[in-house]
Amino acid sequence: MGECECLVSESGGEERLVAAANYIIKALSSNIRISDDGKKVLADLCSKLSLVSTQNYETDVVEVEIEERGVGDVEEVESRFNVVQEKIMAWEADQSMIWDSTTLNEACEYLNAADEAWDLVGKLDSLCLSKDEYSYELLRKAHDVLQTAMARLEEEFRHLLAKSSLEYEPESMSFHVVEDTVEDGSTSLYRDESFESSVRSSSVGRVLENSIIDLVNPDAVIELRGIANVMFKAGYDQECIQVYNLLRRDALNECLLTLEMEKLSIEDVLKMDWVTLNSKIRKWNRAMKRFVRIYLASEKSLCDQIFGEEGLVSLSCFVESSKASMLQLLNFGEAMAIGPHTPEKLNRILEMYEVVEEHLFDIDTLYCDDIGYLVRIEYHDVLKSLGQSVRATFLEFEKAIAANTSPNPFAGGGIHHLTKYVMNYLMILTDYRDSLNLLLKDDEDVCPNSPSSSLNPTREEDREGEFSPMARHFRSVASILESNLDEKSKQYKDPALQHFFLMNNIHYMAQKVRGSELIRIFGEDWVRKHYKKFQQQATNYERASWNSILQYLREDGIQNTGSTSVSKNVLKDRLRSFNLAFEEIYKTQTAWIIHDSRLREDLRISTSLRVIHAYRAFYGRCNNHVSDKLIKYTPDDLEGYLLDLFEGSPKSLANTSRR
């Protein structure tokens, strides 16, 4: 048997097979003894030979039957064709639309006829017909009727989709879960068996599910699904898809207009003034949120309902219909990213970045697979570009602070506009903490000479956010601002006003940090250090303003004179000099301003303690040696006049008498 198996396995044709059979017959004739295993193999061989004989016989019988039935089948097909042709051609004489002028049952009958036309064409193609002219003519007629039906369905699909589309109303949208749209309809025969279940588990995803709105009347969606299924079955899928994409592309464009998003080129955006651009950015942020989370999610759901989720047809239709609108939105984002990196744009660009980042998962879900690659990669590129723009703009912000100059000293030594601008700017940026920490991370060491770069946080100091990338940059900005203020203070000729100006501005910085979210970024230690700084400037102001005038009130030089008349003259001279000096300070420093009421009161009290205490002792000596007519101010008068300081309204004491 082994030799036989070898012979059969090596043989490749019928002659070898016959030779093997002859070998087996010869072996069996020699009365050899066969084992049980051998008998089993021979039994299997007999069984297989019997099966081969039966199959050959049945094939011959079927071929004969087909030939005999050929003429009968043609007659049956022709009879069915005549009925279908009558139903389809009857509507060609009617200019009205089927889904407008009939009941749904009649519309379903038309779909039945169109579907059977396709079925008949298939049967005529597959039957073994004699190649006579009559058979070919019947097949040609069937193709013509099918084409007529498909052209009609294409128009019906276009008309039904257009008239059933619902207008997008941003302010009055009703949201619902996808499965709420499922209803029974008369064309359910042409929906996939899994239609309802597929709609209920829409591939848009659970994240977007609650944002779905009706873009097309739910009843019409079921009819559109039926038409699409018949057209796809007959091989007219591209015609159906083309109609859908064209209409839905226009609908999405209308949606953008409703959201006030006009089509702009990058050049148009770059030419806009800031007021106009600022308004456009606000509208863009609002449009992006609604367009992606609501409209695109709903559009994807609509595609799934009409074309089904299986395969790539639904995804392809969604991408093709929405791509132009999505790229239009992204084009504006790209224009903002490549525009000038002026500081006033930073918070707006951050808003755009966070809006794009917020919907990144939605876009990756909606535009999945290779079909959605173009939109998906463009979206990621815009996000990256906006992030780079944020970094570049923040660095420009730092440079702008350092480069800010003023031709003249700031009037009144008050809080400089730059100080207010920078600190309020930083306060606004705290709303974007997570984004800034991410985007500024690579630039942590961009300012290695800044005070913050040398900090080595201990466990006690390492509070939330204090040593984050954002905190390092914010401290750098504060340091740059302080350096700029120091330079601005040198524009004042009066040293007292230099210290007064720095006191005001450093106090403002410390108060802004302590009273806002900035405290979590700068930290308590930074605030304490800057409280000490402004207090030191307040002390320096007092010394520069009052030390020289207090010299007139000193005792030395009066007690050491040997003559009473000399003492009186010294007292008179010093009293006169003090009055003149005080009146000059009063005239000057009533024009100076401290906006913070508590700081103003504290500085008045501190000044009063120094001045009134010294003047009261001097006043007592004057009462014993100088006529009352020469004493212009009492201690109470001076105390009252000191309350007029730092109000920003210049006053004069010249030629005034006692209060």
Would you give the DSSP letter of residue 132? -
According to the model, what pLDDT value does residue 140 have? 84
According to the model, what pLDDT value does residue 44 have? 63
Angle ∠(30,31,34) on CA atoms, nearest 5: 115
Cα 624 from chain centroid (whole Å): 81
According to the model, what pLDDT value does residue 211 have? 77
According to the model, what pLDDT value does residue 571 have? 79
Residues 116-154: pLDDT tens digits?
888 878 787 776 455 556 767 778 887 888 888 888 889
What is the model's pTM?
0.73
According to the model, what pLDDT value does residue 45 have? 66
Return the HEC string of 483-544.
Answer: HHHHHHHCCCCCHHHHHHHHHHHHHHHHHHHHCCCCHHHHCHHHHHHHHHHHHHHHHHHHHH
Which string of DSSP letters, residue by residue, matches 162-176?
Answer: HHHBPPP-GGG----
Q: Could you tell me the two tokens for 499?
A: 């210290």
Q: Which domains does the chain have, with CATH numbers?
A: 74-167 (1.20.58), 235-397 (1.20.1280.170), 404-442+467-549 (no CATH), 553-658 (1.20.1280)
According to the model, what pLDDT value does residue 46 have? 60
Which residues of the chain fall short of a pLDDT of 70?
1-14, 18, 22, 25-33, 36-74, 101-103, 127-133, 135, 169-210, 309-311, 442-466, 556-567, 626-628, 654-659
Burial of 272 (0-12, 13-18, 19+ CB in 10 A): middle
Contact assessment for residue 200 and residue 192, using Cβ atoms and an 8 Å cutoff = no
Q: To which H or E segment does residue 565 belong? A: helix 564-589
